[in-house]
Amino acid sequence: MALCQIVGVTQNNDKEIWISEYYNTKIKILLPLQENIYQEKIILIITQKGLTTSFLSYTYLGDIVKKIIFIILLLFISIPNIKASTDTASSYVLMDLDSGRVLSEKNMHSQKLIASITKIMTCIIAIENEDINSLVTVDESINKSYGSGIYISVGEQIKLIDLLYGLMLRSGNDAAIMISTYVSKTEENFVKLMNKKANEIGMKNTCFYNSSGLDNNTRGNLSTAYDMALITRYAMQNETYRKIVSTTKYTVKTNLKTYIWHNKNKLLSTDYITGGKTGYTEKAKRTLVSTASKDNLNLVVVTLKDSDDWNTHKSLYENAFNTYKSYKVLNKKTFSVPKDNYYKNLYIKEDFYLLLKKEETHHLISHIKLEKKKNYQTGDIVGTNYIYLDDTLVGKVNIYAKSPQKSNHFINKIKNIFKRK
């Protein structure tokens, strides 16, 4: 079942009421009168009465006052409230990887130096802009590198994919410089790609100056816990990236030597951790990004300037696993808008899930906004379904249209001709 999914329409005094498949849901439909002007068509409130076998009343607000009563069996489950220890973090965020909903945070928009978690962006930019199996010849540009490295040599030949493993497992600054100069000729050009991508995915408080995360006397890469969660959420959609950051040990053979690299991310020894990136400079202090999956919960935690970051991440995850559950909020089934013939056969492409506390299921609002578009093709986007938790937007999905079956339309015309005779 889906918390907000509309599954049918019933008649009451020639008025149409949309019936939700689940409980504790408000459903609001906005229909276009003309461009940028919408009419609130329907608001449906579903309230819960009791925590065991319950009667659920569906009330249409407006001129419809008749209630439709349903019986549904609800199981009340007590969920322990475990407080996560985050005192040592200057800023942090715990985010749902699937929906992007922020579950917990502290100063998440506070801009800080981010050190080597910069390399998350470096890695995904390289994956998206170059053949990862191409052979790279190491040149003198690595001589600018200092700090942590994989210690490759000028003249050494190594595949780009191997450099990416060195970048993410060993936090190689020499790998970062070699990757950026190979992909974009210069590190400066590569950094432009990094900032362009940051802008595209909504990292509003981020500015990259280099591909490694090193900071000097004048400047270093700046971002926020929230922005770094955004790039991690984006990168985790890429299969190659996911494979790299989940790897604990990697062996590389070049024309000069063989390397065995172990991942610096100690959290990977925890069974639910799926990836991440460590970071440290004297100015930035400890920075850490990690991702986790358990019981259909997919999460990301980012901490900045946290002296006890390993324990902070574990504490936040354990709290989330004990507090939240993954609920199907929307089904990918076809539905239609009452009395609007050109809004028949609407659908979303995939089931939509949200991580919610049990008590939060009482406060969901499904807000559907449709475009004024009579002529459409199958697959056209004709609106958006916004999901609110009270007044907070926690998710949104596109609504697509299926074009009317022309053959049926033709047959109906023929039938109407004979009826008139």
**Letter for the amino acid at 320?**
A
CA distance 148 to 161: 19
- Pair of tokens at residue 140: 């003198």
3-state helix, strand and coil shares in percent for the chain, rounded to the nearest 5: 30, 35, 35
For residue 361, give every residue at least 6 positions away whose Cβ sits within 8 Å of its Cβ, in sequence order, or none: 3, 23, 24, 327
CA distance 348 to 319: 32
CA distance 59 to 22: 14
- Our CA dihedral for 241, 247, 250, 254, rounded to 10 degrees, sits at 0
Q: Which residues are catalytic?
A: 116, 119, 171
CA distance 291 to 101: 14
For residue 242, give every residue at least 6 positions away whose Cβ sits within 8 Å of its Cβ, in sequence order, or none: 236, 274, 275
Going by the DSSP 8-state scheme, the letter that residue 82 receives in this structure is: P
Contact 134, 233 (CB under 8 A): no
- Pair of tokens at residue 209: 């100056």
The SS3 of residue 232 is: helix
Angle (CA) 204-207-213 rounded to 5° is 130
